[in-house]
């Protein structure tokens, strides 16, 4: 089965160790989607006994659009699991170019093809900074940043009809929060068009706001919420024209 380590629709953190233990106990495999967790919280694969995980590097990995994704397969499973896409790099004898696929031993057997060299360089630079900062300290900043967001929601946005869709306990969330509003789609568009704040809208009524702990300051969090408050107080968000776009 598969679950998100941090649910992108709510910002809620899954109970990694407990769920992993329950799945393992019945002889099944658990694949964790860590796209909204990697680089924001300490996933502790060893401590949580995680054997399979995937994720991206462009969110909290700060590696830029199009940066390569990643795959984690514990050494216990590398020979057992087969790959659905038989890539050139996963072939045991890569340069024979024969008619049959023989999966390479180890983690190379899961590689489909060569990633972008420029993308890999961005990942390398970013994750070197993550390593220097320390994931424990990064997680602390994510907790403080999202706590600041929640306090500003309570003080500034609840009077304008917003509700919080994310757990209030820091240990139960990651690096983003969800706020709900009946006019969320219009508000999210106005944030981008009118006040240079880039949120993420999800149907039917959710706006996702994040602190990427390494590059984002608490002042930027404050300023972004202040601009949102200004839109609500002035009603200016109602002035934007709807757009037909896949990006929300």
The model's pLDDT over 84-117, given as tens digits with 9 standing for 90+, comes to: 888 888 999 988 878 888 999 999 999 888 888 8
Burial of residue 103, with CB atoms counted within 10 A of its CB: 0-12 exposed, 13-18 middle, 19 or more buried: middle
Residue of 202 and 65 predicted with greater confidence: 202
Q: What is the pLDDT of residues 182-234, one digit of tens each?
A: 999 999 999 999 999 999 999 999 999 999 999 999 999 999 999 999 999 99
Tokens 């568009």 identify what position?
A: 189
Q: What is the pLDDT of residue 165?
A: 98
Distance between CA 142 and CA 72 in Å, rounded?
24
Residue 116 · residue 66 · CB < 8 Å: yes
Question: In angstroms, what is the C-alpha Rg of the chain?
Answer: 21
Q: What is the mean pLDDT of residues 45-63?
A: 95
pLDDT at residue 211, rounded to an integer: 96
Q: Please, what is the average pLDDT of the chain?
A: 94
In the chain, % of residues over pLDDT 70: 99
Per-residue pLDDT of 6-19, as tens digits, reads: 999 999 999 999 99
Q: How long a stretch of residues is the chain?
A: 248
Q: What are the phi and psi torsion angles at 216 (to 5°)?
A: -95, 130
pLDDT at res. 65? 81
Q: How confident is the model at residue 134, as a pLDDT?
A: 97
Model pLDDT, residue 204: 94
- Residue 244's pLDDT is what? 75
Report yes or no: 173 and 11 within 8 Å, Cβ to Cβ.
yes
The pLDDT of 56-83, averaged and rounded, is 92
For residue 247, pLDDT over 80 is answered with no
Q: What is the set of domains in the chain, with CATH numbers? A: 2-133 (3.40.640.10), 135-239 (3.90.1150.10)
pTM for this structure? 0.91
> What percent of the chain is predicted at pLDDT more than 90?
82
Q: Is the pLDDT of residue 75 over 80?
A: yes
């Amino acid at each position: 089965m598969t679950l998100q380590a941090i649910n992108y629709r709510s910002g809620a953190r899954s109970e990694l160790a407990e769920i992993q233990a329950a799945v393992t106990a019945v002889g099944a495999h658990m694949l964790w989607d860590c796209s909204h967790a990697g680089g924001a919280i300490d996933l502790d694969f060893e401590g949580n006994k995680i054997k399979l995980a995937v994720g991206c590097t462009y969110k909290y990995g700060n590696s830029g659009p199009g940066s390569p994704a990643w795959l984690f397969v514990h050494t216990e499973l590398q020979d057992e699991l087969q790959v659905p896409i038989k890539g050139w790099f996963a072939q045991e004898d890569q340069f024979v170019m024969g008619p049959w696929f023989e999966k390479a031993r180890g983690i190379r057997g899961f590689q489909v093809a060569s990633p972008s060299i420029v993308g890999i360089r961005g990942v390398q630079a970013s994750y070197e900074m993550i390593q220097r900062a320390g994931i424990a300290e990064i997680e602390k900043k994510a907790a403080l940043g999202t706590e600041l967001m929640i306090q500003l929601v309570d003080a500034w946005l609840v009077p304008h009809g917003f509700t919080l869709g994310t757990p209030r306990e820091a240990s139960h969330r990651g690096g983003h929060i969800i706020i709900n509003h009946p006019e969320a789609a219009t508000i999210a568009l106005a944030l981008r068009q009118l006040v240079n704040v880039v949120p993420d809208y999800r149907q039917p009524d959710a706006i996702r706001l994040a602190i990427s702990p390494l590059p984002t300051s608490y002042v930027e969090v404050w300023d972004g919420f202040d601009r949102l408050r200004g839109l609500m107080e002035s009603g200016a968000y109602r002035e934007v024209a709807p757009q037909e776009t896949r990006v929300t």
